[in-house]
Structure 1
Amino acid sequence: MKLIVGSDEAAYDFKEKIKEYLISEGYEIVDKGTYDGRPVLYPDIAVKVAQAVADGEADRGILMCGTGIGMSISANKVPGIRAAVCHDCYSAERARKSNNAQILCMGARVIGLELAKQLADIWLASDFSGGRSQPKVDRISYYDDLYKKQN
């Protein structure tokens, strides 16, 4: 599976360790930045990752910042993207199974590295279950299309 990752400066070291872990687990990684600890505008990184996932350049993406919240908000501006902040195992699983989230967002100032690895594993191993969730995800897509047409 090919993954696109990105972070701001607050999560740069965290991202580098997560990348190393994912590569050791056999994932192909594309890094969209940041490439050092200098301050960046995290929305730019989030949109790069989200657009690349939306364009099919990778199967899924992982974004990291201080809390994961800003990255999630920014990534969700890209039509067709569902990015979820997850800091517990249940949410990581449900983000995929119930919401078909293509991007996992985590906060380097909120969780530790070992939990982040565990969340990535759970999220990557989970697939969308469809069923009762399908009409809800379809409605999200409906609104994506509606607002895209208005702009």
Structure 2
Amino acid sequence: MKIAMANDHAGTALKKAIKAYLEAEGQEVQDFGTYDEESCDLSDFVYPAALAVAKGECDRGVFVDGVGYGSAMIANKVNGIYAVVCQDPFCAQLARQHNDSNVLCLGGKIIGGAIAMEIVKTWMHTDPLTAEKYQRRIQKVQAINDKCCVPVK
């Protein structure tokens, strides 16, 4: 699986650790930056990474900023992105099972490395539930996306 990664200055250290974990698991990572802790604008990195997921160039995304919400807000503006902020493995499990999220956003100032790794591990290894009610709900969200978001070119 190919994973798009992006971060701002507050997420650099955690992104590096997650990237190493994903690569050790055999995932291919496309790192959209930033690569240091110099102050920067999150959208400069998250937007191109979200586009890569939306266009199918990457299968999923993992974005890290200070709290996670900035990444999710930016990513969810892109048609076909279903970004979630997770602060524990249980939320990561449900975000995949119930919502088929394709982007995980984490807060480098909120959670530590050990819990972040468990969140990423859970999110990466959980599939959407196939029961009709979950698929119906996922399809309804996709229909809203298709109605309201401009297709990515």
TM-score by length of 2: 0.92
- Counterpart in the other structure of 2:89: 89
* Residue 7 of structure 2: aligned partner: 7
1:119 aligns with 2:119: yes
Q: State the partner residue of 1:66.
A: 66
Q: 3-state SS of the aligned residue for 1:101? A: coil
Aligned residue number for residue 147 of structure 1: 148
Whether the aligned pair in 2 keeps the contact of 1:6 and 1:46 (CA below 8 Å) is: yes
Deviating beyond 6 angstroms after TM superposition, the runs of 4 or more aligned structure 1 residues are none
One-letter identity of the residue aligned with 1:67: V
Distance 2:16 2:89 in 1: 21
Partner-residue secondary structure (3-state), 1:122: helix
Between the aligned partners of 1:137 and 1:79, the Cα distance in structure 2 is: 15
Corresponding residue pairs, total: 149
Q: Contact conserved, 1:64 with 1:108, CA < 8 A, in 2?
A: yes
Cα root mean square deviation, aligned? 1.2
Percent of aligned pairs sharing the same letter: 36
In structure 1, C-alpha distance between the alignment counterparts of 2:30 and 2:12, rounded to whole Å: 15
Q: String of CA shifts for 1:70-124, please: whole Å, max 9, x gaps.
A: 1011100001110000011111001111000000110011111011111111000
Which consecutive residues of structure 1, in runs of 5 or more, have no partner in the other structure? none
Distance 2:66 2:130 in 1: 32
Matched residue, 1:40: 40
- Partner in structure 1 of residue 16 of structure 2: 16
Instruction: Look up the SS of the partner of 1:19 in the other structure.
Output: helix
- Higher mean Cα deviation, 123-132 or 91-100? 123-132
5+ residue gaps, structure 2: none
* Alpha-carbon distance between aligned partners in 2 of 1:10 and 1:76, rounded to the nearest angstrom: 20
